[in-house]
């Protein structure tokens, strides 16, 4: 894990989350499923004025009321307590009750006459011999309030069908204006500034928009496991706060830079100045934006004023970018390392070295004979597999270990910052896209083998963060690698299917079948990886 002494911001303890439960009541209409939402009080301490789903904190009495509820197999313990709390809160806030009478009949609107929403629901049900219908409540998602919030909740989002014969009536204290709305409609109104909602509500509605019937949603939730789990993180983007879930591109970077949830990190791409990631780590992104480079090539600067700096991937031969590297390091560069020889990674190495006042050897692997002419590269020193580059000063050491990872290029390598368990992945692992494997210098079999090697390294060394040459920092390192490999193998399965369907076909015949889910403008690039997959399959078939 990252050394605490190297974090940019002082550690802090986020507020502990309180246990709560929320329920989404839904019904089918000819236009699609609708769900019940209400507006919170403008003076509420949490999400004032926002449109939400009914719910609230779990009471101690909820956990003691299991005997008052019907439940499904496996719906026990905490899960049953959460369902009971959600049913109780829904009744207190909206007067809607998911329950059955003593003879098993669903409670209807007429049955609710005489119930007191301000008295204990559980006691009133016990007196009448009713049981709460927890078996009709399903887990949809699990949210934990962002770490930056002063008031936080640990809350499952549950879902149930609206009971027939009942009408919602807001308590006019915590909740107001109950309304039925389709997910897409609520999102459109929010986009137009007419419908205030908090981040978890928005993301939940986005996912619900994919379901055309309530039954299909309940079937998706039948396992009892949440369809997603999230504790979002926030940063600055375009001058405004922006929140992200774990699967989104910016999440890992926020976790690295502000692990305790401080909203202090700007995610906008900077090309004119370095972005601090840790006390001893800067990212300077070259201005070579493009289809193949995304926001530009990330040059990483490791070190500090006491031990000097190491430069990883100096980038294209861009005079302005080189000047910025020199300014950020005060010229005190001890070595330059290139992950591979492609023209957006290594050409700046020689002109940068020429500007350094002291020795700054260029490390890496020489380009193979299979490399294209614009990728020709010869380092001063070959960086052996497992070899280490060290920076030392004022009692601190920063050690970079080389890991040979052929595949994207024959001379590709990654670097592990051992003291902080950070992996610099070059182009082998990217954030937001998959790397191109372009034969003959690229090799799909070697690429997949290198992924396996990096996965084992991350498990062995406790690597949580991957720093790619293009895109933001990636979190959940092993999961990211597993997802990437799974994607590659799924694509390869489509290649194999296309080859079986058109055994006499060519790459151009197979391309539309294999990349039917990819914009056609990207097909010329995708064709290279298609060729790599075909060569790997042919090699496997030949027993190579």
pLDDT in tens, 103-144: 999 999 999 998 999 999 999 999 999 999 999 999 999 999
Query: How high is the pLDDT of residue 128?
Result: 95
pLDDT in tens, 328-358: 999 999 999 999 999 999 999 999 999 999 8
Indicate the pTM of the whole model: 0.93
Whole-number Cα distances in Å, 298 to 159, 234, 261, 275, 334: 44, 22, 24, 10, 19
- For the record, the structure tokens of 189 come out as 């109104």
Contacts of 423 (CB under 8 A, 6+ apart): 414, 415, 416, 417, 454, 457, 458, 463, 465, 466, 467, 477
Given pLDDT bands bounded at 50, 70 and 90, which one contains residue 41?
Answer: confident
Where do the domains of the chain lie, and which CATH numbers do they carry?
A: 18-230 (3.90.79.10), 232-268 (no CATH), 269-482 (3.60.15.10), 490-541 (no CATH)
Cβ–Cβ < 8 Å for 106, 130:
no
Is the separation of the CB atoms in 454 and 480 below 8 Å? no
The Cα–Cα gap between 297 and 288 comes to: 7
As given in the structure block, the two tokens for residue 202 are 């928005």
Q: Is residue 419 scored above 80 in pLDDT?
A: yes
pLDDT in tens, 288-325: 999 889 999 999 999 999 999 999 999 999 999 999 99
Instruction: Measure the CA–CA gap between 99 and 118, rounded to whole angstroms.
Output: 18
What is 269-309 written as a DSSP string? --SSS-EEEETTEEEEE-S--BTTTBT-PEEEEEEETTTEE
Instruction: State the average pLDDT over residues 191-217.
Output: 95
Question: Residue 247: which of 466, 2, 474 has the closest Cα?
Answer: 474
pLDDT per position as a tens digit, 64-86: 999 999 999 989 999 999 999 99
Q: Is the per-residue pLDDT at 46 higher than 80? A: no
């Amino acid at each position: 894990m990252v050394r605490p002494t190297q974090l940019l911001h002082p550690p802090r303890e986020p507020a502990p989350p309180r246990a709560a439960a929320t329920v989404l009541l839904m019904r089918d209409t000819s236009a699609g499923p609708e769900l019940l939402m209400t507006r919170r009080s403008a003076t509420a301490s949490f999400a004032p004025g926002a449109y939400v789903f009914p719910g609230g904190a779990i009471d101690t009495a909820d956990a003691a009321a299991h005997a008052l509820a019907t439940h499904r197999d496996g719906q026990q313990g905490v899960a049953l307590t959460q369902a009971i709390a959600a049913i109780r809160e829904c009744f207190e806030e909206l007067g809607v009750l998911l329950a059955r009478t003593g003879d098993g009949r669903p409670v209807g609107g007429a049955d609710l006459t005489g119930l007191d929403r301000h008295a204990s629901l559980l006691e009133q049900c016990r007196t009448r011999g009713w049981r709460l219908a927890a078996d009709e409540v399903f887990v949809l998602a699990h949210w934990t309030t962002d770490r930056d919030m002063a008031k936080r909740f640990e809350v499952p989002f549950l879902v149930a069908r609206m009971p027939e014969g009942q009408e919602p009536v807001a308590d006019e204290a915590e909740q107001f204006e109950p309304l039925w709305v389709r997910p897409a409609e609520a999102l459109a109104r929010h986009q137009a500034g007419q419908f205030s909602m908090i981040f978890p509500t928005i993301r939940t509605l986005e996912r619900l928009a994919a379901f055309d019937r309530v039954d299909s949603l309940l079937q998706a939730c039948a396992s009892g496991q949440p369809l997603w789990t999230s504790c979002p993180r926030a940063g600055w983007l375009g001058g405004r706060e922006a929140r992200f879930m774990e699967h989104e591109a910016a999440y890992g970077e926020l976790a690295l830079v502000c692990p305790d949830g401080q909203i202090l990190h700007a995610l906008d791409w900077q090309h004119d100045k370095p972005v601090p990631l840790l006390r001893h780590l800067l990212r300077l992104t070259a201005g070579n934006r493009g289809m193949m480079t995304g926001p530009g090539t990330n040059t990483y600067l490791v070190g500090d004023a006491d031990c000097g700096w190491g430069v990883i991937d100096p980038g294209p031969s861009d005079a302005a970018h080189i000047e910025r590297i020199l300014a950020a390091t005060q010229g005190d560069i001890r070595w330059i390392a290139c992950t591979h020889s492609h023209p957006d990674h290594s050409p700046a190495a020689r002109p940068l070295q020429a500007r350094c006042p002291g020795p700054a050897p260029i490390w890496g692997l020489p380009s193979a004979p299979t490399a294209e002419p614009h990728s020709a590269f010869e380092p001063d020193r070959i960086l052996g597999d497992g070899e280490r580059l060290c920076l030392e000063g004022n009692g601190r050491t920063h050690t970079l270990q080389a890991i040979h990872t052929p595949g994207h290029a024959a001379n590709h390598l990654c670097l592990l910052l051992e003291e902080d368990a950070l992996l610099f992945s070059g182009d082998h692992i990217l954030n937001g896209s998959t790397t191109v494997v372009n034969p003959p210098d690229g090799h799909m079999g070697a690429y997949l083998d290198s992924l396996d090697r990096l996965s084992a390294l991350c498990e062995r060394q406790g690597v949580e963060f991957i720093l790619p040459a293009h895109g933001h920092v990636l979190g959940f390192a092993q999961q990211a690698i597993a997802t990437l490999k799974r994607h590659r193998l799924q694509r390869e399965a489509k290649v194999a299917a296309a080859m079986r369907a058109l055994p006499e076909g060519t790459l151009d015949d197979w391309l539309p079948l294999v990349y039917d889910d990819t914009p056609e403008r990207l097909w010329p690039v995708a064709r290279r990886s298609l060729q790599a997959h075909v060569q790997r399959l042919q090699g496997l078939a030949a027993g190579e």
